[in-house]
A and B are shown apart, each in its own frame.
Chain A
């Protein structure tokens, strides 16, 4: 080719470099790719919504003077001891095993400073987390690893996990390198096995059984503790209705962008629906049952900013949960780790091999040397700072919309930037009164 006309290499949209690399990887190894994190491709999200600040037809509240409440009560439907959080941003369930004990402690510390809850995960309750977390939600998963009545009684709420946004319909996974003696002991497993946990609960199937299961957990804990039901978003309208009918106090709805510690890449990218499209279905289900705000709705899957918090709440959520963002606040993917991450084939800002236990930040690892790098006090402080920023940002936006409490935000405060997001979020396309799918 002459110098005047350098070659233009055309990349195939169908067989792009990533796809080619994945085919080559599959051909070499014979196994699907497993990774951590959430969906990487772009899907309609809160960025596609805008809040309508007040002007003449609505009055804004004065930025630093007029109050904008942020507290939320979770679980006052049946539980004798509902949880009262100062802020509507909770820490999602992430297991000890997936995370180091230091990371669990740091989450507990940060959440307690900020006045919110943390959640255990697939692997039981650690003293590190219970010791530091003022409000601790204890997950009840199909595997029942580490499940015992003493910890159940120590918990402040119980979360029955039906699924996760990253893998609705899929079970858990913890690869051998993270199944250390302590992790294996808590889960009653041989050290070093590739742990695969079940996707269905062992002793109930379907909503009628779930109602009896919820009643059992209430009986065991003398009706004190709120019972959450966590759903991976796929058919949220029906799932929410069934969970509420089965007696849930709180629904946790996790969208497809939701993070995971270890899941097949194909599952993360291709199963489930974006949280944006799931919230309206859940809210509709609750409203039809006259249970909106009576059974609280916590949503998760890609929550990053105060704007995301405000928009999720305007869509009808009572609170949000964060996983990935909390790990980043603790120090995951920090630029100072770039050199080390490059040595293990990644780079700061891209690292998602949370499944293999080599995290130089000391967060998604069980390696004692790596774990030691995370100072739980410092990590807790960083998380608390981040949570404060999320809340300050959400309050700023809520005040601008004239709301004296984050819970007063509503869908009328929202418009959509794209036709897709308008249809999914069921709010008008900006500048129009058009909500696709609902006529004019």
Chain B
């Protein structure tokens, strides 16, 4: 285990060390102490490392993560795991806006709540939130799955493409072109698997599924008011 103490080292020191060529990265397990809400921690990691951040992190924690498993023992700011490609990010606390924005792959687990625009423009990532999510979540969601164990705010899934959304609690309102859809056995199965991966003990049958009505895929005059 390699420890980097951010009360002494800088964000640059941390990221540079994490970007060392594979052969130079002797330690596979990393502990980051005293993160103090700093921005851009563990961004652009490109190796299968296991990284624990012991405290709160600021904006873009684990941004563009590829292959690494990153755990934050606290809350995170805007854009956690933004544009993640693979690997996983787990936030023990809550996340601010735009969690998992535009992420292409991997698994993002937020044990607490997530703010507005959770999963905005998501492109293949799986996001599982233990608590609630804020308004405009999954706006233009393109692919991947968003699971919410609590409630969702206004305009969920506005202008949605192909992301599948599962919510256990209430949805304050659905955005344009987002509709409730039938929960078929394959959906229950994928949801059970996602909950299991995230480590949440919830009954898949208690969720509802939402997806795109696909009415806005090609412009039609009759839909003008939806734009």
Contact = CB atoms under 8 A, between A and B. Distances in A.
A144 interface: yes
Nearest to B19: A222
Interface stretch (A37-45, A145-153, A406-414): A145-153
A30 B120 contact: no
Interface string B201-227: 000000000000000011101001000
Contacts of B63: 216, 220
Contact of B79 (A176, A204, A221): A204
Given A203-B101, A222-B19, 5 more contacts: A176-B218, A188-B143, A203-B98, A212-B58, A216-B39
B11 A30 contact: no
A143 B123 CA distance: 10
Contacts of B11: 219
B162 A203 contact: no
A202 B101 contact: yes
A296 B42 CA distance: 30
A22 interface: no
A144 B103 CA distance: 9
Interface of A: 29-31, 143-144, 147-150, 152, 176, 187-190, 192-194, 196, 198, 202-204, 209, 212-213, 215-216, 219-223
Interface string B68-83: 0000000000110011
Interface range for B: 35 or more
Contacts of A204: 78-79
Contacts of A29: 221
8 contacts: A143-B121, A193-B217, A193-B218, A194-B217, A203-B82, A212-B40, A216-B63, A219-B43
Contacts of A219: 11-12, 15, 40, 43-44
A155 to B, nearest CB: 13
B88 interface: no
Contacts of A148: 64, 83, 85, 104
Interface in B75-123: 78-79, 82-83, 85, 97-98, 101-102, 104, 117, 120-121, 123
A187 B89 CA distance: 23
B64 A222 contact: no
Contacts of A222: 15-16, 19
Given A148-B85, A204-B78, A219-B40, A31 B59 contact: no
Given A188-B124, A204-B78, A215 B104 contact: no
Nearest to A221: B44
B52 interface: no
B66 interface: yes
A184 B36 CA distance: 41
Contacts of B82: 202-203
A190 B217 CA distance: 9
B12 to A, nearest CB: 7
A152 B64 contact: yes
Contacts of B101: 144, 202-203
A216 B41 CA distance: 9
A233 to B, nearest CB: 26
B60 interface: yes
B132 interface: no
B143 to A, nearest CB: 5
B46 interface: yes
Interface centre among A176, A204, A209, A220 (most CB of B within 10 A): A220
Contact of A31 (B66, B140, B219): B219
Contacts of B46: 149
B166 interface: no
Contacts of A144: 83, 101-102, 121, 123
Contacts of B159: 196
